[in-house]
Structure 1
Amino acid sequence: MRNSSANVTKGQTDWNAVNWRQVNRRVRNLRQRIFRASRENDLAKVRSLQNLMLRSYSNTLKSVRQVTQENKGKYTAGVDGIVTTTVEDRNELADSLMSVQPWRAAPARRVYIPKAGGKLRPLGIPTIRDRALQARVKNALEPFWEARFEPCSYGFRPGRGCHDAIARIYNVAAPVRRRRWVLDADIKGAFDNIDHEFLLNAIEGFPAKELIRQWLKAGYMERGVFHDTDSGTPQGGVISPLLANIALHGMEAAVGVQYITRGDNVGKRCLIRYADDFVVFCDSEEDACQARVELSAWLAARGLVLSDEKTRIVHLSDGFDFLGFNIRQYRSPETRWGWKLLIKPSRKSVKSLKARMVREWRGLDGQNIVTVLTRLNPIIRGWSNYYRSVVSKRLFAQLDSWIFGKEVRWARKTHPQKPWYWVTRKYWGKLHPKRMDYWVFGDAAGDGGRLNKFAWTPIVRHILVKGGASPDDPALRDYWVRRRSRQHAELSGRQQALAKEQGGMCFRCGETLHNDEALCVHHITAPRLGGKRTLDNQRLMHLYCHLQALAAERSVRDRKRFA
């Protein structure tokens, strides 16, 4: 691999020959060095390392891979209509990003996606080049802030997520605690209204500050008409969630949250934030009202206001919804404190799931059973995995009963002339080898493929991320290896075994398997060449690492053939 020089001529990148293990190691090491320098408050060293990251060829390759292969929006074009789908396209994109040239950000393409309540959420889709450059800049900016972000922040940060926020709420809202009044808050149009000057002042001294200014001021195109952007960060940009977190940094201090040395919260209030949604736990209704006043003033300096429609003050006995979960204390005379805390899937989430399943079943009329399983299994698996860490067992069983009615309707409609006993033998049977269940829906008369049941997902408590822990902290390497291993439960049995054996890392690139990329079992010796389908002949890789490995193997065979 060539060095990190910024002077690269067109045609030097060979995507299929990239050593991803080396690329990931170089980027990871640089991020860790930036993190450490930030923790030590050595700003001169931070700026030097950030400049190095911005010029890094490895960072460029990793950024191109992220936006063209990993991200869900990889097939979505910006205003230029360009998507990068081939190896040649990625070679050209990587080389162009490394060339020395003045950069001018293109406007985003405005699209709308549906959200709860029938409303539409605006998204600004940058061009693929701007997205790749944003990913490169993010790798230089993010580790600096990861060393400084507050532990209460869980949204759009590496190594953190919704389940950490809910696990933290579980600890804070336990009946033994005294904070039973909750400010359930939502910032009105947070991504659209963040004050640009406040944000730019917050990143003063960052080497790519002017690039970020360009993205903020680039505007957007809607139906062929250009619109200026005087505030906000466009939802849809790679760097936008990080910029929003930077703008909202300091919220804990603003509400007076205090910690003691071992990390316990000892103040009157406790804050949990996920992006622009947050809750503040207080010990009285009056204090919750005061917290709202204080936060309103703090947000105003950032160009933001609380949504009157979505912000409310509630008692834990009434409960509230957060990130699709319902959090509520119930009377329980048999317990020591007289109350018990239950966190469940919210009614709105269940209603949304059922509405989606009804649409899917209707769209499957006339389709074969293989199509049914292909369409529905990812929905069931994804929803049950999201809610597996809370009180969901009874609900999962209820959903399975509800789904059974949809299965019967589909089967009868597909075979209206066939008797019921014929239909049941064709679509139901003991299709799960480890369960004594003779009413599993699937291809009973064919290959035995089955529709997953919600109740098959075991309830497993999520382990809260430790304090201010970050994957960029080199001192916590072993902690993150252990933590990643807990994510294996979401994989199939064979993939779980391989992931455990590989320490949760891709066998080819050495990066975590849990980075939202599709995974694939790779055979060291292909079955068609006599290889066995056993664990000692298999390795778990990202899909694109698997494809790269296949391309390399073909190249070796071709050289031997024509030698």
Structure 2
Amino acid sequence: MWRFSMTDKTIKFYTDEWKALPWEKFQKNLYRLQHRIYKAAKENDVDTIKSLQTLLVGSKCAKYLAVRQVTQLNLGKRSAGVDGVSKLNPKERIQLAADLGQLNNWKHEKLRRVYIPKEDGTKRPLGIPTIKDRAMQCLIKYALEPVYEASASDGDFGFRPGHSTWDIQKYIFNNLNSSAKGYKKTIVEIDISKCFDNINHDKLISLVILPNGLKNAIRSALKAGVLTEKEKTTSGTPQGGVISPLLANITLHGVEDLQNEKVSSTKSMQRGFRYADDMVFILKQGEDPDELLVKIRQFLKERGLNINETKSQTVSATKGFNFLGWHFLVKPDNHKFVCFPSKKNHNSMKLKVKNTVKDTRYPLKDRLKMVKTIYRGWFNYHRYCDMSQVNLWSLHNWVYKYLRKSSKIPQNEIIEHVRGIFTGHNQKVNGFIASKGSRSIYDNDWLYWANRNNKRFTGPLLTTLWKQEFRCKSCNLLFSTEDIIELHHKDGDNQNNKPTNIVALHRTCHQYEPIHGEKRIRRKRVIPE
């Protein structure tokens, strides 16, 4: 990959040029194209879909946003591929955006293979593409995702914008609570054997709606991910790729609907729920699990896949089952539905906390901050669970005793530290409001999505967002799920939160627009990381 060496003056020039690009305009133009693709897909207009996809991947807005996404925003932005490049300077980003115009002739590099340890002692292979290839995948994803979103079912929630595991958690509650007579129901939990490694390429390509040139780029990416030394294969979706989860979703699309119950000529009751390659089906009393398994095996066989018989199971709801880090159970005595962290998930968190506390490479103060971050993230994921079913006190007590034994901190300060880590976390059992899997952020109902995805906001910010209909007061664009929002105080006093004194802005608008004039003041961060 080309690299540029630059003087400090040149670096500043290209940094300023990169920052000055009209990012909000780019996002608006990209979304317009994606909405048009989504609308054409809803109407099954394949010719229009492909025409718009060609327009999108050739657009300046999509190419620059793809580069920005993989080099500045994604969690794995510093992961190097086989070329060893882990980051790009602004000039290299601009050059990469220009190079993305050659997608039809793109040759995907091999992936750098790394092996991630699993809890059972084995290792999971992960393929990491180069930055150039990640940008290419991101650009194609922009064009392909709206097509898939247009046909997504009510039971599909994995790795889709605007959806989460909490949706599935709530739907399982709706199917298994006492009013739904969950105590009479049977659960079929399906695990697919090496799903990402065994997907049949030809079948996947046949399911993808893209112009032929972009299909060839997808095929090149697929083949790059599963090469052994000097040997080509025809299976495997690179798990480390930007587009991999979307390709897996396209391959498995429809399997979650195999047990749906018809309630009218146009409507059906969703009985299967899938998150990527993990899925559960809820069967009513008297329904035969073996009939469902036959249909699932046939569906998977057509795609080169098989059920992992050792990890799949059929179980009564009153026996309970683990799914997505949770344990779901209908109590046999009172038929009450409960959901709480699975034993494996809970133990994994406790082990992380204990190992962090005992890691003397870091000062104790830093270790306690890391523990608080670990616990807060874990508790937030389980915020809609019944945490009374889990023994949390034992971990509190362990941390307290360790600090008393291994540090010279006064007892009253230890108590305050432990309280700061383990208390003050909000929960609302089964309180999540789920959306249908068939809803999509590309449906142009931005007020619905802005309202739904900004429920975490409270106080003056929430009031201001409602007043502005979730639009930025500066650029008038609707806030997306990834935007960082800041409050601007007109009089410069960040303690004056009167409705007439505050407006909500994108951070970028707050930073680059001349809102403050010559009396610019330091902004108060209102949205935590």
CA distance in 1, matches of 2:233, 2:227: 11
Q: Deviations over 1:276-322 (max 9, x none)?
A: 11111112476112211221121111000000111010000101000
Following TM superposition, the consecutive aligned residue runs of length 4 or more in structure 1 with deviations greater than 6 angstroms are 493-502, 505-509, 522-526
Determine if contact 2:330/2:337 at 8 Å carries over to the other structure: yes
Determine if contact 2:489/2:496 at 8 Å carries over to the other structure: no
Deviation at 1:165, TM superposition (A): 1.1
Determine if contact 2:117/2:124 at 8 Å carries over to the other structure: yes
The yes-or-no answer on 1:189 pairing with 2:194 is yes
Determine if contact 2:185/2:284 at 8 Å carries over to the other structure: yes
Query: 2:280 is matched with which residue?
Result: 279
Query: 1:5 is matched with which residue?
Result: none
TM-score (norm 1): 0.79
Matches within 5 A, 1:27-426: 27-98=30-101, 102-177=105-180, 180-203=185-208, 205-207=210-212, 208-219=214-225, 225=229, 228-255=232-259, 257-258=261-262, 260=264, 265=269, 270-284=271-285, 287-333=288-334, 339-364=335-360, 367-369=363-365, 371-393=366-388, 395=390, 398-400=391-393, 402-415=395-408, 423-425=410-412
CA distance in 2, matches of 1:300, 1:82: 39
CA distance in 1, matches of 2:398, 2:349: 15
CA distance in 2, matches of 1:342, 1:364: 39
CA distance in 2, matches of 1:47, 1:401: 58
Query: 1:514 is matched with which residue?
Result: 481
Give the aligned residue type for 1:62. Answer: L
SS at match of 1:184: strand
Matches within 5 A, 1:5-44: 14-44=17-47
Determine if contact 2:108/2:224 at 8 Å carries over to the other structure: yes
CA distance in 2, matches of 1:74, 1:501: 36
Q: Residues 404 and 351 (structure 1 numbering): CA distance in 2 closer, same or farther, change over 3 Å?
A: same
Matches within 5 A, 1:496-511: 510=477
Determine if contact 1:531/1:537 at 8 Å carries over to the other structure: no
CA distance in 2, matches of 1:256, 1:100: 40
SS at match of 2:135: helix
Q: Deviations over 1:336-388 (max 9, x none)?
A: xxx1111111111111110111111111576142x134312221221111101
Determine if contact 2:155/2:257 at 8 Å carries over to the other structure: no
Q: Deviations over 1:510-534 (max 9, x none)?
A: 574533x7x58587799xxx86465
Give the aligned residue type for 2:205. Answer: L
CA distance in 1, matches of 2:317, 2:340: 14
Q: Deviations over 1:499-548 (max 9, x none)?
A: 66776677788574533x7x58587799xxx8646555786656xx48xx
What number of residue pairs does the alignment pair up? 496
Unaligned runs of 5+ residues in structure 2 are 1-13, 519-529
CA distance in 1, matches of 2:210, 2:242: 21
Match for residue 440 of structure 1 among 412, 416, 425? 416
Determine if contact 1:184/1:312 at 8 Å carries over to the other structure: yes
Q: Residues 300 and 99 (structure 1 numbering): CA distance in 2 closer, same or farther, change over 3 Å?
A: closer
Query: 1:453 is matched with which residue?
Result: 422
Judge which range, 201-210 or 241-250, deviates more: 201-210
Query: 2:432 is matched with which residue?
Result: 462
SS at match of 1:157: coil
Q: Deviations over 1:471-514 (max 9, x none)?
A: 1012x33221221122437xxx7876776677667778857453
CA distance in 2, matches of 1:353, 1:505: 38
User: Identity of paired residues, percent?
Assistant: 32
CA distance in 1, matches of 2:344, 2:472: 37
CA distance in 2, matches of 1:291, 1:113: 34
Determine if contact 2:156/2:256 at 8 Å carries over to the other structure: no
CA distance in 2, matches of 1:80, 1:185: 38
Query: 1:481 is matched with which residue?
Result: 450
Determine if contact 2:70/2:135 at 8 Å carries over to the other structure: yes
Deviation at 1:175, TM superposition (A): 3.2
Q: Residues 14 and 228 (structure 1 numbering): CA distance in 2 closer, same or farther, change over 3 Å?
A: farther
Determine if contact 1:485/1:500 at 8 Å carries over to the other structure: no
Determine if contact 1:392/1:459 at 8 Å carries over to the other structure: no
